[in-house]
Amino acid sequence: MNIMKPKFSVIIATYNRMEQLKIALNSLLNQDENNWEAWIIDDGSTDKTYELIENYQKIDQRINYFRQKNKGAIHAKNKGIQLSNAEFITFLDSDDYYLNNHLSLRKNYLNENPKVDFLHGGAIIIGNQYVPDRNQPDQMIHLSKCIIGGTFFIKNEILKQMGGFNELPIGTDAELYERAIKANIIIHKISDETYVYNRIDNNSITHNFIKKIKQSS
């Protein structure tokens, strides 16, 4: 018997963000598109993340859980990429959330444009609008000029062939995007703003990187 694979694998890397993770997961469960699986990669949380996910798995069998020793967000995302089974891989940072038509709008766009390998765009930014410039880390750049990895939808086989994300202090999303351009992958940008990018959290990778720059200056 042929089992149809999901349209989307939603990868959620998390570490000690139980309360924020609830919001992210609820936004996924409230999607008006149902053809997805989720891979929650727990990067060694010491809070009650496991118990939380166990409860969600009782509600919805599309939610999968993998726990690893603390190796960082990039390693966790790459593990999710390895485990994913769907046609397209996408992401949901554990302190962000989707509007309820996020997946359906992307599905419609990708079905109407079947040659697209890589779709991105459509973020609503809450909080700090600036991040360090990956080429000049001591300079800040507005997020409107940045590539936001949470909005990525990439064909499964292509992202796996690319080897996922490279371990970098900052700019991992932009670096992956640049590699995709060099590989002549067909990339489109969508304008529908349905991915809510939370820049309020003081424990983000970017926030910690900025703090290190200030301490060393």
Domain that residue 21 falls in: 8-216
In a domain, 3, yes or no: no
In a domain, 129, yes or no: yes
Residue 170: which pLDDT band, with cuts at 50, 70 and 90? confident
Which pLDDT score, from 0 to 100, does residue 176 have?
A: 98
Q: What is the average pLDDT score of the chain?
A: 91
CATH number (domain holding residue 172): 3.90.550.10
Question: What pLDDT digit, counting tens, does each position of 117-155 carry?
Answer: 999 999 999 999 998 888 888 889 989 889 999 999 999
Q: Report the domain count for the chain.
A: 1
Kindly tell me the burial class for residue 170, based on how many C-beta atoms sit within 10 Å of its own C-beta (0-12, 13-18, 19 or more): middle
Which pLDDT score, from 0 to 100, does residue 215 have?
A: 40
In a domain, 2, yes or no: no
Question: What pLDDT digit, counting tens, does each position of 54-104 carry?
Answer: 999 999 999 999 999 999 999 999 999 999 999 999 999 999 999 999 999
Which pLDDT score, from 0 to 100, does residue 83 have?
A: 98
- What would the mean pLDDT of 146-165 be, rounded to a whole number? 97
In a domain, 121, yes or no: yes
Asked if 76 contacts 69 with a C-beta cutoff of 8 angstroms, the reply is: no
